[in-house]
Amino acid sequence: MSYDITELAEESIKLELNVSDMYYLFHSVFPDDASLWWKLGLEEKNHAALIRNGIEQFEPVGAFPHEILSDRLQDLKETNKKLRSILQQFKNTQPSTELAFKTALELEVSSGESHYQYFMDKEANSTIEEVFQRLNREEKDHAERIHSYMKDNDIPV
């Protein structure tokens, strides 16, 4: 591979934590939707922990499933920069419910998040991949869950 897996992992972890921060902000701002945002925020933190622990435990022995990470480092960095800016903007000026959901959907289909989802949905090629997928079985399909929630609660898509 022509990229540094540690740097990709760190940027991916930052992305998961930034998305988590966004969802926790939405949790505090939108009481009607608080349980959804809390659950998604917690799941994003779990994704970050899964990547961190995987790198620490499995990369030294060459068993970390690299497919869980996007190999587009610059895209990850740009997404993180944009996300930190949006998060600051939303802290200063509360977004509408529609804008919060639209932003969440956009984040979930971003390069790093969609790559993570792809890995979780694909057929495992090793025991390690299967373990990663099993650990995260209930914490996937965020975009689909957000979209479904919007439809069920009459929030414009």
49-104, pLDDT tens digit by residue? 989 999 999 898 888 888 888 888 998 999 999 999 999 999 999 999 999 999 99
Mean pLDDT of 27-48: 95
Residue 67 maps to a domain: yes
**Paired tokens of 129:** 């991949």
Nearest to 5 by CA among 75, 74, 59: 59
pLDDT for the residue 111: 59
Domain count, the chain: 1
Residue 34 maps to a domain: yes
First to last CA, the chain: 39
pLDDT for the residue 2: 47
DSSP class of residue 4 equals -
Nearest to 133 by CA among 65, 71, 70: 65
What domain range is 94 assigned to?
Answer: 5-152
pLDDT for the residue 1: 42
Residue 157 maps to a domain: no
> What is the pTM assigned to this prediction?
0.86
Residue 116 maps to a domain: yes
Give pLDDT tens digits for 104-140: 998 888 756 666 667 777 787 877 778 776 766 655 5
Contact 29/110 with Cβ under 8 angstroms? Answer: no
Contact 88/27 with Cβ under 8 angstroms? Answer: no
Higher-confidence residue of 5 and 141: namely 5
Residue 102 maps to a domain: yes
Compute the distance between CA of residue 95 and CA of residue 103 in angstroms, rounded to an integer: 10
